[in-house]
């Protein structure tokens, strides 16, 4: 195990997180309540809490968003402007006869209209569903079918290339709004519609249990599920953003997650706005120099990113970071995949701060387990459950669930009841019901808790490898592999073996300058054997230029395995980067 990283605030800087008073009372709902006001008429609405509330309290002039366009333009949007723009959007929906509960889908990049659409949809009491703009026609279609889309907001190019051909097959789809000034036949141009609409809109009365969001899971382990969330989730979005990320009024915060994914909405729109932060929105996808430049120029204080981006930075080497000044950074956090200890140590050297791992899922609607500002970090550990969240490691005994003692590997489970928990999987009641047993929500991930209460990710339940009586978690093996100087990324799977049952096979990508070949393979295997022991180390290592990944940056081990075994590949709708 790596050394613990002791936490000390940088000199002259206040700690980023302001722990919420009374957090330790373990009631996430009551604590979240203290961070929102509710509607003037007593309801609760995400859109109102995110923007209109701040305007009503005299904060309209504060900066909500700093936009950085792909072409290099920089534009500032105040809370007042965002409130008006989203009100215009709500009025556009209303003018088309749409009513409370209507389903509004979006497919676009980080454009201003996306934020107006999300906030306006909530203010109008409707349900927002973001999709990845990079999906192909089929993933769009199946999700809009499952989600019974009533409205789609997208670009002309996406519409014409990916949607027009089958639009008529979705009978529920009544309105297609096209970002910009012109729209093809049968669609409405959003630009003129927004200008013609009133900038005033009184948020529709919504109750805490009214549906607000549908998020499709990443599809890493199979067919994506549509998780339904309600307005009450905003209580936990407010609370967890404050506690796990250190969000507070005016703080310059940059979340790199794609808005088509749960992180891009929850911590890329709702949580920062509810906490009155200033969001940096960079339209560009990962580009090393651009990202380092954005951190420096925008004096980013809190940065929320993902292991895949961090590993790309590591792959480019420390020299690439050298010319930049990162002294504004106060807090770094990562989510979506296990964060290898090597990445934590690397970031501590390059940024002077370690990345804080966060664990959560589309289903949980918010961060559950995290390394927080005030606690020491054990690199490779996910941290501890946020106050208000009760976690456990459980095992199915065949006769109910049993909680396991510290140090034993089992399924990571949570006591349901926090506000942002999903309320359903769309059209999949049986799959939803299977997530709950004996008063626990079962995550499908394997983990262990150490004697200090830190949680350690082991792997997805489906990815566990059983070799000669050993249970091997892929994460441990992958983390050891990337400690080798030549290795950038690694994915391991179990492949059948006559004597051992299964043996570990690794797929790795290499750092700049490393030469693939039998010699390097031997060297990496030897390195892994020393770290892990012969029983756990990979028997075989193959080199790849890229690993197959979902659009949210997760390595699709199931695809590597299916290919290895010659089995059907299953649902690949969220596959973004192919294996090469």
Looking from the CA of 147 toward its CB, the CA atoms found within 13 Å total: 36
Tokens of 487: 């290795």
For residues 89 and 352, what is the distance between their CA atoms, to the nearest angstrom? 42
Residue showing tokens 């150490």: 450
Residues between 385 and 424 with contacts to Mg ion, criterion CB under 5 A = none
Residues between 90 and 149 with contacts to ligand ATP, criterion CB under 6 A = none
Residue 68 contacts residue 281 (beta carbons within 8 Å): yes
Long-range interactions of 424-433: CB distance < 8 A, separation 24+? 424/227, 424/228, 425/225, 425/226, 425/227, 425/228, 426/146, 426/147, 426/214, 426/225, 426/226, 426/227, 426/228, 427/146, 427/226, 428/225, 428/226, 431/225
State how far the alpha carbon of 155 is from the alpha carbons of 100, 148, 182, in Å: 25, 20, 10
Q: Which stretch binds ligand ATP (CB under 6 A): 105-113, 275-283, 330-338, 428-436?
A: 330-338
Q: Which is nearer to ligand ATP, 89 or 216 (CB)?
A: 216
236 binds, among Mg ion, ligand ATP, none (CB under 5 to 8 A by kind): none
Q: Minimum Å distance from CB 344 to ligand ATP?
A: 12
Site string for ligand ATP, 366-385 (x = CB under 6 A): ----------------x---
Helix 518-532 × helix 474-482 angle, to 10°? 120
Q: Which is nearer to ligand ATP, 194 or 335 (CB)?
A: 335
Q: Which is nearer to Mg ion, 159 or 359 (CB)?
A: 359
Q: Which is nearer to ligand ATP, 48 or 261 (CB)?
A: 261
Quick check: 473 binds ligand ATP (CB under 6 A)? no
Q: Minimum Å distance from CB 490 to ligand ATP?
A: 15
Residue showing tokens 């009503």: 56
State how far the alpha carbon of 518 is from the alpha carbons of 335, 543, 580, in Å: 34, 10, 19
Residues between 440 and 459 with contacts to ligand ATP, criterion CB under 6 A = 443, 445, 457
Site string for ligand ATP, 211-250 (x = CB under 6 A): ------xxxxxx-x--------------------------
Q: Minimum Å distance from CB 341 to ligand ATP?
A: 12
Among 337, 411, 489, 502, binds ligand ATP (CB under 6 A): 337
Q: Which stretch binds Mg ion (CB under 5 A): 8-16, 211-219, 520-528, 561-569?
A: 211-219
Write the CB contacts of 284 (distance below 8 Å, at least 6 apart in sequence): 68, 70, 290
Paired with 66 in beta bridges are 76, 280
State how far the alpha carbon of 102 is from the alpha carbons of 105, 129, 408, in Å: 10, 11, 46
Q: Minimum Å distance from CB 428 to ligand ATP?
A: 12
What is the C-alpha end-to-end distance of the chain, expressed in Å? 33
194 binds, among Mg ion, ligand ATP, none (CB under 5 to 8 A by kind): none
86 binds, among ligand ATP, Mg ion, none (CB under 5 to 8 A by kind): none
Q: Which stretch binds ligand ATP (CB under 6 A): 77-85, 202-210, 331-339, 532-540?
A: 331-339
Q: Kindly provide the residue ranges of all beta strands, DSSP E only, lying in 172-245, ordered along the sequence.
A: 175-178, 188-189, 211-216, 226-230
Virtual torsion, Cα 293, 299, 303, 309, nearest 10 deg: 10
Quick check: 543 binds ligand ATP (CB under 6 A)? no
Site string for ligand ATP, 342-371 (x = CB under 6 A): ---------------xxx-xx---------
For residues 535 and 51, what is the distance between their CA atoms, to the nearest angstrom? 55
554 binds, among Mg ion, ligand ATP, none (CB under 5 to 8 A by kind): ligand ATP
Residue 234 contacts residue 49 (beta carbons within 8 Å): yes
Q: What are the residues binding ligand ATP (CB under 6 A)?
A: 217-222, 224, 262, 335-339, 357-359, 361-362, 382, 443, 445, 457, 460, 552, 554
- Write out the residues near Mg ion by the rule CB under 5 A: 217
């Amino acid at each position: 195990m790596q050394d613990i990283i002791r936490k000390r605030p940088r000199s002259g800087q206040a700690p980023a997180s302001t722990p919420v008073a009374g957090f330790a009372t373990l009631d996430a709902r009551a604590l979240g309540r203290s961070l929102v006001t509710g509607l003037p008429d007593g309801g609760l609405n995400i859109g109102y809490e995110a923007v209109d509330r701040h305007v009503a309290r005299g904060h309209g002039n504060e900066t909500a968003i700093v936009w950085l366009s792909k072409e290099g333009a920089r534009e500032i949007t105040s809370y007042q402007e965002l409130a008006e723009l989203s009100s215009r959007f709500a009025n556009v929906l209303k003018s088309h006869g749409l009513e409370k509960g209507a389903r509004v889908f979006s497919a676009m990049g980080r454009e201003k209209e996306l934020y107006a659409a999300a906030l306006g949809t909530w203010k109008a009491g409707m349900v927002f569903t973001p999709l990845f703009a990079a999906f192909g026609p089929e993933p769009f279609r199946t999700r809009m079918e499952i989600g019974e889309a009533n409205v789609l907001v997208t670009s002309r190019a996406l519409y014409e290339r990916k949607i027009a051909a089958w639009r008529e097959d979705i009978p529920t789809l009544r309105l297609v709004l096209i970002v910009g000034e012109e729209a093809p036949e049968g669609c409405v141009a959003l630009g003129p519609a927004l200008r013609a609409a009133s900038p005033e809109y009184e948020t529709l009365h919504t109750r805490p249990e009214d549906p607000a969001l549908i998020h499709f899971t990443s599809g890493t382990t199979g067919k994506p599920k549509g998780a339904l969330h309600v307005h009450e989730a905003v209580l936990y979005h407010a609370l967890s953003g404050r506690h796990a990320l250190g969000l507070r009024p005016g703080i310059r915060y940059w979340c790199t997650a794609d808005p088509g994914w749960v992180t891009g909405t929850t911590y890329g729109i709702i949580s920062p706005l509810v906490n009155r932060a200033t969001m940096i929105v960079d339209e560009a996808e990962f580009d090393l120099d651009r990202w380092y430049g954005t951190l420096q120029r925008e004096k980013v204080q809190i940065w929320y990113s993902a292991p895949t981006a961090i590993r790309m930075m590591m792959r480019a080497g420390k020299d690439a970071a050298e010319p930049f000044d990162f002294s504004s950074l106060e807090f770094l956090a990562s989510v979506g995949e296990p964060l290898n200890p090597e990445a934590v140590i690397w970031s501590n050297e390059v940024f002077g701060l370690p990345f804080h791992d966060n664990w959560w899922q589309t289903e949980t609607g918010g961060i559950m387990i995290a390394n927080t500002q005030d606690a020491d970090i054990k690199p490779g550990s996910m941290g501890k459950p946020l106050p208000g969240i009760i976690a456990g490691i459980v095992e199915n005994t065949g006769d109910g669930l049993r909680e396991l003692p510290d140090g034993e590997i089992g399924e990571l489970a949570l006591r349901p009841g926090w506000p942002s928990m999903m309320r359903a999987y769309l059209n999949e009641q049986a799959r939803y019901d299977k997530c709950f047993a004996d008063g626990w929500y079962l995550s499908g991930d394997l983990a262990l808790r150490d004697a200090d209460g830190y949680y350690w990710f082991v792997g997805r339940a489906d990815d566990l490898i059983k070799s000669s009586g050993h249970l091997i978690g892929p994460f441990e093996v992958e983390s050891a592999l990337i400690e080798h100087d030549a290795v950038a990324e690694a994915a391991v799977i179990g492949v059948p073996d006559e004597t051992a049952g299964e043996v570990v096979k690794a797929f790795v990508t290499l750092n700049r300058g490393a030469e693939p070949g039998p010699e390097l393979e031997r060297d990496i295997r030897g390195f892994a054997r020393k770290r892990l022991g012969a029983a756990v180390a990979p028997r075989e290592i193959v080199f790849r230029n890229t690993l197959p990944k979902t659009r949210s940056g997760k390595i699709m081990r199931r695809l590597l395995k299916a290919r290895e075994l010659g089995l059907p590949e299953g649902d690949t709708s969220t596959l973004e980067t192919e294996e090469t």
